[in-house]
Amino acid sequence: MLHLEAKHYSNHPDEVSLLVSPEGKNEVPTARVQVNLGQFSPLQFWKLDDLKKHATETALVDPSPGTLGALKQAGVQVELRYKKPLQVVYLR
């Protein structure tokens, strides 16, 4: 649900996207809720291909270990910028 908070409090809410795996919308209840809310609010959802296109412009907030592993496997360089209070990762 961090995605909704980031979108709400961001100075640039149109630049906030939620990274979802192809099966993530069905397996993760909060992702499913956000996809449903997307019908009523302009929420952006990205897949790994979208993220790779915009890697140098992207920061991930509190990514899961699985997400980081998938990015590394896809050839995206990951740079840990902050560990606390939430992990922030920049991509190259």
Q: How many CB atoms lie within 10 A of CB 7?
A: 20
Give the mean pLDDT of 29-51.
72
Give the mean pLDDT of 48-52.
84
What does the pLDDT look like over 9-20, one tens digit per residue? Answer: 778 778 877 777
* Nearest CA-CA partner of 12 in 77, 79, 49, 57: 57
pTM flag (> 0.85): no
DSSP letter assigned to residue 75? T
Supply the angle between the helices 29-37 and 2-9 in degrees, to the nearest 10. 40
CA dihedral (2, 8, 57, 37) positive or negative: positive
Name the pLDDT band for 88 (thresholds 50, 70, 90). Answer: very high
What is the residue extent of each domain of the chain? Answer: 1-46, 51-92
% residues pLDDT > 70 (the chain) = 71
